[in-house]
Amino acid sequence: MEAALACIGKLVPPCVWAATLKALLNGWTTADANGRASPCLFGCKRGQDSIDHYAYCPCVARLAQTRLRLQPALAAERLDDFLLLKDQSCERHLALRALCLYATFMSTNAARHGRATAAGDAWVQAAIEAAGRDAPLANIVNTLWST
């Protein structure tokens, strides 16, 4: 965990780093974290509003795959991959994973607080805004989205 945080600290803007740390500390304000049941904010109907679910959510996986070209990890490794706990030797991959985590965090917050009708609507915008705060990350994202 410490190695991933140290590495992404050089690769992503502070807001992405902070969202990653918050996820690692189970600090997202999901319904599950507050002892309530609420459906997935991406609308997949397969799980609850929880960090654990978003690691496996097919809607998040589809966004990560189509927008960031991230392939889903094997089912047994998906939560560790989502939380950047899986060995990630490629810095570019690690930065994109952190951006995915951040976009998921921000978009679920937007949906939870009525600023988006569904988290999927806000996910791309959150990724764009975060990447725009950091030139190296923006270059990676621009390369992906321009091809």
Residue 89 has pLDDT above 90, yes or no: no
Pairwise CA distance, residues 10 & 13, whole Å? 8
CA distance 50 to 29: 9
Higher pLDDT, 113 or 4: 113
Percent of the chain with pLDDT over 70: 96
| Spans of all domains in the chain | 2-138
pLDDT score recorded for residue 118: 82
Assess whether pLDDT exceeds 90 at residue 16: yes
Q: Mind giving me the DSSP string for 42-100?
A: T--SSSBSSHHHHHH-HHHHHHHHHHH-PPPPPGGGHHHHHTT-S----HHHHHHHHHH
Q: What is the pLDDT of residues 100-111, one digit of tens each?
A: 999 999 999 999
Which tens digit of pLDDT belongs to each residue from 111-147?
A: 998 888 888 889 999 999 998 887 778 888 888 876 5
The model's pTM is 0.90
